[in-house]
Structure 1
Amino acid sequence: MVQMWTQCPRLPLGSLIVVILGKMFVMWSIFNLLAAVFGNGTYFAKNSSYSAQPQYSQPDVRGHRYIIQTRVITGDWTQGQRGMKAAPLKKNSPTEQYDSVVDDVQSPTIFVVFHDTAAYPEYIIKFM
């Protein structure tokens, strides 16, 4: 598993915890559809500064912003594309899918996964 970062939608903190413990993957998939350049999955960044950008981590009523430190199974990856609802099949394999898709196959900074079992949220980081 690789340490990665993801943004938090603007929610009351109690709701955020419920989302993380219960429906984190579904929520983030819906949240990420707005910018689904590499597929309709859940997006994770290698660098926290990416997820901390104001357009991804919007402040709550007190001005606090949140990002989530997450462990992600990236496995074998390939180039992501708009509209993907799942990772594509591997070349020369009629049944085996890639584990994730990325922004750049040679030097990825954004990973997209399509299964909730591929990500484990560890910490909520709160900042202003």
Structure 2
Amino acid sequence: MSLAPDAPCPCGRLAPDSRHAVRPYRDCCARWHQGPARLQAPDAESLMRSRYSAYVLGLRDYLLDTWHPDTRPASLAPDEPGLRWLGLEVRRHVAQDERHAMVEFVARCKLGGRAQRLHECSRFERDAQGHWLYLDGEFRD
């Protein structure tokens, strides 16, 4: 799936001067997906949001590149046919120290006409080059 640069970002992050307007993709997750700032999300929440957007857009290489090497799978299966991502809610972002953070989120999707949600507390670690990486997550009900 491709997205116009001025389309609202799938991650749903609001524009800084707005209570309701979502940032354009080009000013939000696109910069972490491509170009000179690729893979350089400034914090764990921004990385998590960019990973959600990557799932929406089918950017499997980006997902693997931002996964910690200790827990990264060899490959990612394609999305199931008909899967539609519906939205993201970030519940909290906790910077534990300079190199570790946790982000709790709920991602909603629809598959086969059934709504589903993924509630996860994800752990992130900053590597020696200063890049945030997804380490793992714990599912919640």
State the TM-score, normalized to the length of structure 2. 0.27
Which structure shows the bigger proportion of residues in helix conformation? Answer: 1
State the TM-score, normalized to the length of structure 1. 0.29
